[in-house]
Structure 1
Amino acid sequence: MTRPRHGAAPFHDLLAGHSRLTALALAPDGARLIAEVRSVDDEGTRHVPRLWEVDPSGARDSRPVAGSLPGDHAPAFAADGTLLFLGEREGADSADGKGEGQGTALWALPEGGTAERIAGHPEGIWAFTAAARDAGTVAYTAELLPGATDAGTHAARLRERAGIDAILYEETAAHIWRTAPGPGEPHTFVLRRGGAPVNAGGQGLAGSGDVVLSPDGSLVACVRAANDLAPDTNVVVVADAATGAGRRTFSRPGHQYYRMAFTADGTALVCERQREETHDTEWRVTLVAFDLASGEETDLLPDFDNWPWPGRAVVSPVPGDDTLWFTGDERGHCPVFRRDADGTITRLTASGAYSSLCVTPDGTTLYALRSAIDSPPRVVRLDTVTPDQHPVFLDAPGGLGPLPGTLTEVRTRADDGFSLRAWLVLPDGASPEHPAPLLVVPHGGPQASWSAWTWTWNPWPFAARGYAVLLPDPALSTGYGQRMQERGRGQYGGRPYRDVIALTDAALARDDLDAARTALAGWSYGGYLANRAATRTGRFKAIVSAAGMWNLEAFQNETEMHAYFRKIFGDPRTHRDRYETDSPHHDAAGLSTPMLLVHGGRDQGAPLGQALSLHSDLQRLGVPVKFLYFPGEGHTIGRPNHVRVLYETVLNFLDHHVLGRPWRRPAL
């Protein structure tokens, strides 16, 4: 069993306190590359962003951006090369001197100059975008209270509501947790140099922060909800940036659009289109293009069966060039793909998971963040044409030293003959003479994949403690073609659970793993599969269920995503069979394995009542249970010190029940 060296910090402490690369931005001329790096503050209570300069050529070391301060984040560039970002700075007054710009504001920082606040809003700005060729136009998203039309009237209403937190919903409270807390609604504002912000949201362009400008700054596009009767549908609105007057709208019943990008000539809008899963239809995602003149919608990936869940498309900056690049899951990786004008798809990277793509102005080079199961995000450079290339790594913060183990794969066949795979992390020292205990960790989602580095539920703290970790991709995982969705449709606790068990059996056929010492831990949908396993099998010595679902009937009435889950499971009064088949609480009598429950008090995705109900059943049945509760956390555990507590508690729980060691209450 691998143990930390005497005096050395446990690996999970190093992980919780490590700096994280989270975003990239490339200057219009391709000469400057800016990375957002989040580091833990001195108290260990939060991650503080900072902007770093990365040399695109790789010749010079990275360094903090001159003139940037801790807290600056969301970097982007104006057309003239001015660095734009969001941040809060002490002593920054609003333009009118009335304090109406307090909170997160939009700043401009010329190279070698001083940051200037160019836009603010009461309670802050959420997100922004800049025009590619018009240096004077930006669009940003901020809240307005009902009846307010601009920052001034919004601030006045905030003052009137001082000490009041009541909110009256006259239509529906659905999706209230997906926006900023409070009664305000997101609106899009367009700001031109020397002018006042135009409330494009006044013409119905309220949105979620997904807003883009055309390259010349003349058009702004945003998404908004269709109506309360169609929660699975949204509308893309394209409006005049100067007046907010609507030009075009695009929608399709049962579909939602995200992550927009105008083409370089401004004639089309490229979006991700998503059809959510129902009991009878599979989840499906593709990239589409809207022709702004004709209104025609074109599927850009009609025959691409990787089912990659493509990320935001990066369009060629060269007018007239219809090439675009995107990322998407593929069999345990998340490569970069190039789509040519004729529809040809080329995979540009051989391994790893890529994000935050940036393309140079001549369209010949890409910069990105690359991570993998065994590597945190790093800044890399790629060319835009070579298939299956290996990237050039650039100097930037965020690197991590040697990991306490090795990474390999496990493959097997499911009960329907489908080919399954999983990542397997092996701790140092695992061998036939010293087989390692195994921890099985199904992912959340369920539409997701173990393809990238994660900061919570990371396998390496467990490997550092001597555990092998299996990361299975069962039915409903992304990156395995549409068939992977079809085979899991309508059976949350059926085939995906059986796939996890099949991969577990395949892993335990290895002679360097100990089949008598196994455990399972999952978060979100993985927590649901953990609860499913707890009622179906006694093979595991311990089970950890984090933010999981237990009583599906109660869950789909309480969750912020109730409309989505109602489509999958139907009305419990008319589709009792679906709930009886898939809701673990119906099989509570099968509980016998010691369980650790982990939940956040502000979790609106999987509400706290799910954990409380499971905890009650476990106590009623006399099953050993512990409950790790984070009152201030949501669906994920994010505060660095909380992450430390999470890992230490889970590791000690596993050591006790899997390895037979005395229980140790975490010091914190």
Structure 2
Amino acid sequence: MDSPYTSLTDYIAVPRAEALTLSPDGRSAVLTVATLTADGTAFERSLWQIAADGSGFPRRLTRSVKGESGAAFTASGDIVFVSSRIDPAATDAPEVAQLWRLPAGGGEARPVTRLAGGVSGIAATALAAETIVVAADLLPSSATLEDDAASRRLRRDKKVTAVFHDSYPVRYWDHDLGPAEPHLFALDMAAVAESVAGSAPDRGDVGGADGTVTDSYPSDLPRPTDLTPRPGRSADTAGQALTPDGRTLLVALRVPERRSGRFVLVSIDVATGERTTLMDEDRVHIESPVISRDGATIAFLRVPFHTQTASADQEIWVADIDGMNARRVAATWDRWPTSLRFDARGESLIATADDDGRGPVYRIPLDGSDPVRLTSDDFSYTDVSVDPATDDLVALRSSWTAPPHPVRIHADGSVTPLASPAPVPEPIGTITGIETTATDGTRVRGWLLLPEGADAAAPAPLLLWIHGGPLNSWNAWSWRWNPQLALAKGYAVLLPDPALSTGYGIDFIARGWNAWGAAPYTDLLAITDEAERRDDIDESRTAAMGGSFGGYMANWVAGHTDRFRAIVSHASLWALDQFAGTTDNSEFWQTAFTPEGLEANSPHHAVRDIVTPMLVVHGDRDYRVPVGESLRLWSELAEHHAAADGTTPHRFLLFPDENHWVLKPQHAVLWYETVFAFLDEHVHGRDWRRPESLG
């Protein structure tokens, strides 16, 4: 069978649809598509235009060495995006990402900003005005854009990289925080003037007795207005939205509190910067604000803090644009929204949510009636936009058999695939739902993917894959953990949603809260038992794998059962007392467990009981689960299980320049090569074959 899943080289070269945004008139959409570079070492991103009704062919809009991302539309239909492509007028500027505009009527893209530190992303756009808000960083001492340029030039010239901190945290996921701090800037796109001469660089002004030159912001570009001056890290946001007229920004701003903080909903006047707090509750996050098309109503998530004995819930609230008349909707809906939008008339919210191993779209009426599920297939939906003319939806959807691809969702729930430059490859094998009953009587379900030819005469070896999170679900495509590659190798893959998984209600999460080694573990064993009862599964050849929380569970499995032939532990939590103080968000983890729960659920206590060969994998730039977890795991495996000559059945794959994930294309290939070689050695009894690129 000619399939990209049979070759890792072909697999990483498959084009990937990563994001979708709908035009203001609903007639077209822009896709962000990632493709492999010619040398196979990186992905480059470009923008493509497709018809939103399913007609025609994709049309490429951008082409540059640096690529483009974060596309959005202005009210007039221009496309704005973020790119570090070369600005011909900024000959001596550092290569940082800026905002660019591609006119709706055609022509070349041109830069809209020339910020010394670049643009982080597009934060919000207005429906009926040429106002947009971008996120960008300024150094702490900078009162103006010119100050920031001068300070950055000084640090660059002196080759200073040191960062001074006076608050927590200092790292986040895969990057060091600081020295710059996040700001939100407003831009008037109507002020972007075209001229025959084009954009000319401003040479700066001579200032001071020493004749030094200060950097002046270009006079021919619209000057960004700082809406969050000197914010510290308070411009870290949990979502923001512009009113249709572009005059008011609603933003969930972070208020620091000791080592953590909470998000409050504020209204910022774009012209004056005046700020009004609309929603602020102690020990409650207000997140993900959205605004109706008429600008009269807002919706947001209200998320009380979790405690050591109970997970937080997520509530949907609506209010008037000034925050008055706030009320909860869908109060009995036991699901957590992953996105919110208003429909075209402002009578309902369009939401996505994890549900029973899928990620469907819902319509949530504002009159208090029950949510209605709009999609009934086995897919998960993201990037949902509303067609203002028809109230149809345009979105990306994916499943474990199909990567993200653009579709149109009609009012009756039917779905039409749209043209895409990233075609969906034909899947390998089959997928079926599988479920069992846990020891406490709870239904536990997952997906079982079977390779071609698996039957009673030729049962397939089984790989138990444990998802991360832990508040997560195996319900959407992943380029990083892709069972199609395992199916091509002849393995069956079990993707279970144990206790703590989302999409099954708050009580299902509560079963594993403060007790990760209890119900989550027994759920995994119970559904593995169910899979192994099938005559097309070889119960004598099984292995377990997981990353992040899944890596934690892989470690827990290793210390509490010998039923698996091999275990792969990626980016795993090992010693919870150590982890809780070194992760980038220590306050969260120390409030998610009682002291007794933290101690009782730490996998490292069972290191002496491990008999299964383990492959330990970690990235040195992982700040969510610091590499010290795997370093300690590796040390203790050697301490208790290495032979007298130092040899061990365990293996350690370290990526010095990767983070919580393995993102570089050739590193992803190496990850799979190493994992499959390790599994083949212990599941099939084959000789160990060291991947060539390991040297």
Q: CA deviation at 1:58?
A: 1.8
Provide closer, same or farther for how the CA distance between residues 235 and 93 of structure 1 changes in structure 2, counting only shifts above 3 A.
farther
Q: CA deviation at 1:253?
A: 2.6
Name the CA distance, whole Å, in 2 between partners of 1:558 and 1:465: 38
1:167 paired to 2:163? yes
Question: Residue 669 of structure 2 corresponds to which residue in structure 1?
Answer: 644
2:509 to 479, 482, 485: 485
1:52 paired to 2:78? no
Counterpart contact for 1:143–1:185, Cα < 8 Å: yes
The code of the aligned residue for 2:9 comes to: D
Provide closer, same or farther for how the CA distance between residues 103 and 131 of structure 1 changes in structure 2, counting only shifts above 3 A.
closer
The code of the aligned residue for 1:188 comes to: L
Counterpart contact for 2:500–2:513, Cα < 8 Å: yes
Task: State the Cα deviation string for residues 17-59 of structure 1 (Å, max 9, x = none).
Answer: 2111111111111122111111111222222110011122222
* Secondary structure, aligned partner of 1:611: helix
Q: CA deviation at 1:224?
A: 2.6
Q: TM-score, normalising length from structure 1?
A: 0.93
Counterpart contact for 2:169–2:259, Cα < 8 Å: no
Name the CA distance, whole Å, in 1 between partners of 2:395 and 2:495: 25
1:588 paired to 2:600? no
1:608 paired to 2:627? yes
Q: CA deviation at 1:403?
A: 2.2
1:272 to 301, 312, 318: 301
1:323 paired to 2:348? yes
Question: Residue 141 of structure 1 corresponds to which residue in structure 2?
Answer: 135
Residues 41-440 of structure 1 correspond to what in structure 2 (within 5 A)? 41-65=37-61, 71-93=67-89, 99=93, 102-162=96-156, 163-173=159-169, 176=172, 181-192=177-188, 193-194=190-191, 195-202=222-229, 204=231, 206-208=235-237, 210-229=239-258, 231-305=260-334, 307=335, 309-318=336-345, 321-343=346-368, 344-351=370-377, 352-383=379-410, 385-386=411-412, 389-440=413-464
The code of the aligned residue for 1:229 comes to: R
The code of the aligned residue for 2:578 comes to: A
Task: State the Cα deviation string for residues 369-412 of structure 1 (Å, max 9, x = none).
Answer: 010011111110112x32xx341111102223322211012110
Provide closer, same or farther for how the CA distance between residues 177 and 150 of structure 1 changes in structure 2, counting only shifts above 3 A.
farther
Counterpart contact for 2:82–2:97, Cα < 8 Å: no
Name the CA distance, whole Å, in 2 between partners of 1:226 and 1:158: 27
Give % identity: 34
Residues 448-527 of structure 1 correspond to what in structure 2 (within 5 A)? 448-527=472-551
The code of the aligned residue for 2:618 comes to: H
Name the CA distance, whole Å, in 2 between partners of 1:339 and 1:359: 14
Provide closer, same or farther for how the CA distance between residues 495 and 276 of structure 1 changes in structure 2, counting only shifts above 3 A.
farther
1:620 to 618, 624, 639: 639
Runs of 5+ consecutive residues of structure 1 not aligned to the other structure: none
Q: CA deviation at 1:450?
A: 0.6
Counterpart contact for 1:207–1:225, Cα < 8 Å: yes
Name the CA distance, whole Å, in 2 between partners of 1:611 and 1:67: 41
Q: CA deviation at 1:608?
A: 0.3
Counterpart contact for 2:44–2:65, Cα < 8 Å: no
The code of the aligned residue for 1:265 comes to: D
Provide closer, same or farther for how the CA distance between residues 291 and 166 of structure 1 changes in structure 2, counting only shifts above 3 A.
same
Provide closer, same or farther for how the CA distance between residues 133 and 470 of structure 1 changes in structure 2, counting only shifts above 3 A.
closer
Name the CA distance, whole Å, in 2 between partners of 1:443 and 1:515: 21
Name the CA distance, whole Å, in 1 between partners of 2:284 and 2:568: 35
Runs of 5+ consecutive residues of structure 2 not aligned to the other structure: 192-221, 642-647
1:30 paired to 2:54? no
CA-atom RMSD in angstroms: 2.2
Name the CA distance, whole Å, in 2 between partners of 1:472 and 1:345: 26
Name the CA distance, whole Å, in 2 between partners of 1:311 and 1:334: 9
In terms of mean alpha carbon deviation, does 207-216 or 652-661 score higher? 207-216
The code of the aligned residue for 1:158 comes to: R
Name the CA distance, whole Å, in 2 between partners of 1:67 and 1:661: 46
* Secondary structure, aligned partner of 1:201: coil
Q: TM-score, normalising length from structure 2?
A: 0.89
Provide closer, same or farther for how the CA distance between residues 106 and 247 of structure 1 changes in structure 2, counting only shifts above 3 A.
farther
Counterpart contact for 1:49–1:71, Cα < 8 Å: yes
Name the CA distance, whole Å, in 2 between partners of 1:372 and 1:176: 29
Provide closer, same or farther for how the CA distance between residues 564 and 145 of structure 1 changes in structure 2, counting only shifts above 3 A.
same
Provide closer, same or farther for how the CA distance between residues 480 and 364 of structure 1 changes in structure 2, counting only shifts above 3 A.
same
In terms of mean alpha carbon deviation, does 281-290 or 70-79 score higher? 281-290
Q: CA deviation at 1:143?
A: 0.3
Count of equivalent residues: 650
In terms of mean alpha carbon deviation, does 189-198 or 321-330 score higher? 189-198
Counterpart contact for 1:225–1:231, Cα < 8 Å: no
Task: State the Cα deviation string for residues 414-450 of structure 1 (Å, max 9, x = none).
Answer: 1110011110010111111111100000100000001
Q: CA deviation at 1:280?
A: 1.4
Q: CA deviation at 1:490?
A: 1.2
* Secondary structure, aligned partner of 2:265: strand
Question: Residue 195 of structure 2 corresponds to which residue in structure 1?
Answer: none
Q: CA deviation at 1:101?
A: 8.6
* Secondary structure, aligned partner of 2:337: coil
Name the CA distance, whole Å, in 2 between partners of 1:480 and 1:296: 31
Provide closer, same or farther for how the CA distance between residues 147 and 549 of structure 1 changes in structure 2, counting only shifts above 3 A.
same
Name the CA distance, whole Å, in 2 between partners of 1:631 and 1:602: 7
Name the CA distance, whole Å, in 1 between partners of 2:92 and 2:364: 50
The code of the aligned residue for 2:371 comes to: I
* Secondary structure, aligned partner of 2:228: helix
Question: Residue 196 of structure 2 corresponds to which residue in structure 1?
Answer: none
The code of the aligned residue for 1:26 comes to: L
Q: CA deviation at 1:562?
A: 0.6
* Secondary structure, aligned partner of 1:520: strand
Task: State the Cα deviation string for residues 529-584 of structure 1 (Å, max 9, x = none).
Answer: 000000000000000000010000000010002110000124xxxx2x32331001
